[in-house]
Amino acid sequence: MKVLRDLFRDYRFALSFCVLCLLLVLAVLTIFSPYDPTLWGVVPRDLKPSREYLLGTNSKGQDVFWQATFAVRNSLVISVIAGTVSRVIAVLVGMVAGYKGRLTDRVLMFVSDSLLVIPLFLIIVMLAMLIRDKMNLVTLGLLLAFFGWAWDARVIRSQILSLREREFTQTAILSGTGTLRLVLNEYMPFATPLVFSTLINNMSWAIGMEMTLAVLGLVNLDIPTLGTMLQWAISYQAMLLGYWWWIATPVVLAVFLFVALYWLSVSISEYLDPRTRIQRVGV
């Protein structure tokens, strides 16, 4: 894979890639978990990290390490759902609005502008309260996806608008290329860097949003995620009682996740930037 080899030259990419891999390994480890993460009292409570309980145990009688593996997995699932679904919406809306123009454009941009101006956070909180009972990984992912596309759709639309004026659009039309193929072949390569970098940004936003909702107690607290782990730790006064391992685990994992995703997005978007790309294919 030439692409990967090129990307690994960037230390930021290499580092963040390794961190993400580690986190993925954690997520995969859930398969081997000796405990059901939803059950309480499966191990002695409040133990310090030790050889037997790598990251100690919590006041609910759960092994923090195995809880963390589930938390990482579930948080990643939510963010991937939110990220990809919102990217698909953003690309579709942006491209259709940009290329079709006129009424289609105005309607779609009205919707996206509305999403941009309303206080997103409050709406999400309210909706989360409404569907709290039905809240699971998928519904939460979709809920976040629905609110995460508006800005990027706008950016893609304006990109298409300027590409439409470029002469190669006319060359493609004169070559007999139809609208759909034109948009996919000619414009998509310009939008991909944006889609990739915002995909990753959107994923970290979703993780952050989930944590916020969890700390506010607005999600299903039985499903272990980075957010619910933190929520439980806070509600049991883990900090006050000196059970630092319980609270530190989700926080440290979240920080690693955020930094890794950020670096990944920066290095990938730099790699995909049309300008550096042109240099690379050059002479």
Partner 1 sequence: MNQTILRTEKLKAFYVLDVLGTRKVVKAVNEVDLEIRENEIYGIAGESGCGKTTLLKTLYAAIEPPLRLIGGKVYYRVNGEEVEVSSLSREEKRKLRWEYVSYVPQGSMSVLNPVIRLKETFRDFLDSHVSGKTKDEAFAIAREHIAALGLPQKILDAYPHQLSGGMRQRVTIALAALLKPRIIIADEPTTALDVVVQRGVVQLLKDIQQNLRNTIVLVTHDMGVQANIADRIGIMYAGKMVEEATTEGIFGDPLHPYTRYLINSLPRFGDKTTRESVPGSPPSLINLPSGCPFHPRCPYALEICKEQMPGFVKLDNNHKVACWLVGEGGNGKAS
Partner 2 sequence: MEKLLELDRLTKVFTLGSVISRVRITATDSVSFYIKPAEIFALAGESGCGKTTVARMILGFEEPTSGAIFYNGKKGTKNEKVWFTEGIQAIFQDPFGTFNPLRTVDRYFFETVQNYKLAGSKEEAIRLIDEKLRAVGLSYEEFSGKYPNEFSGGQLQRISIARALLTNPTLLIADEPVSMVDASLRMSIVNLFKKLKEELGVSVLYITHDLATAYYVSDRIAIMFRGNIVEMGPVEKVLMEPKHPYTKLLRESIPEADPNKRWDTVITLADTEYEEYLRAGCKFAGRCPDVMDRCKDEVPPDIYVDGVLVKCHKYAGE
Residues within the interface to partner 1 (CB under 8 A): 6, 9, 279-280, 282-283
Closest approach of Cβ 5 to partner 1, in Å?
9
Q: Is 274 in the site for partner 2 (CB under 8 A)?
A: yes
Taking CB under 8 A as the criterion, which residues in 151-170 touch partner 2?
166-168, 170
- Chain-centre distance for alpha carbon 236: 28
Residue 2 is inside which H or E element, if any? helix 2-8
Size of interface with partner 2, in residues (CB under 8 A): 22
Torsion, Cα 13 18 20 26, to 10 degrees, reads 180
Q: Is 196 in the site for partner 2 (CB under 8 A)?
A: no
- Residue of 173, 184, 216, 239 that binds partner 2 (CB under 8 A): 173
Q: Is 282 in the site for partner 2 (CB under 8 A)?
A: yes
Classify residue 215 as exposed, middle or buried by CB count within 10 Å of its CB (0-12, 13-18, 19+).
middle
- Residue of 103, 176, 222, 240 that binds partner 2 (CB under 8 A): 176
Nearer to partner 1, 117 or 278 (CB): 278
CA distances from 198 to 84, 205, 272 (A): 10, 10, 12
174 binds, among partner 2, partner 1, none (CB under 5 to 8 A by kind): partner 2
Q: Cα(221)–Cα(91) distance, rounded to whole angstroms?
A: 33
236 binds, among partner 2, partner 1, none (CB under 5 to 8 A by kind): none
Residue 41 is given by DSSP the state: -
Q: Cα(177)–Cα(171) distance, rounded to whole angstroms?
A: 9
Nearer to partner 2, 44 or 189 (CB): 189
Closest approach of Cβ 194 to partner 2, in Å?
13
Q: Is 175 in the site for partner 2 (CB under 8 A)?
A: yes
Classify residue 181 as exposed, middle or buried by CB count within 10 Å of its CB (0-12, 13-18, 19+).
exposed
- Residue of 190, 196, 236, 244 that binds partner 2 (CB under 8 A): 190
222 binds, among partner 1, partner 2, none (CB under 5 to 8 A by kind): none
Let me know: does 141 contact 83? Beta carbons within 8 Å: no
**Contact characters 118-157, partner 2, x per CB under 8 A:** ----------------------------------------
Q: Cα(245)–Cα(242) distance, rounded to whole angstroms?
A: 8
Contacts of 139 (CB under 8 A, 6+ apart): 131
Q: Is 31 in the site for partner 2 (CB under 8 A)?
A: no
**Gyration radius of the chain's alpha carbons:** 22
| Residues binding partner 2 (CB under 8 A) | 166-168, 170-177, 181, 185-186, 189-190, 274, 277-278, 281-283
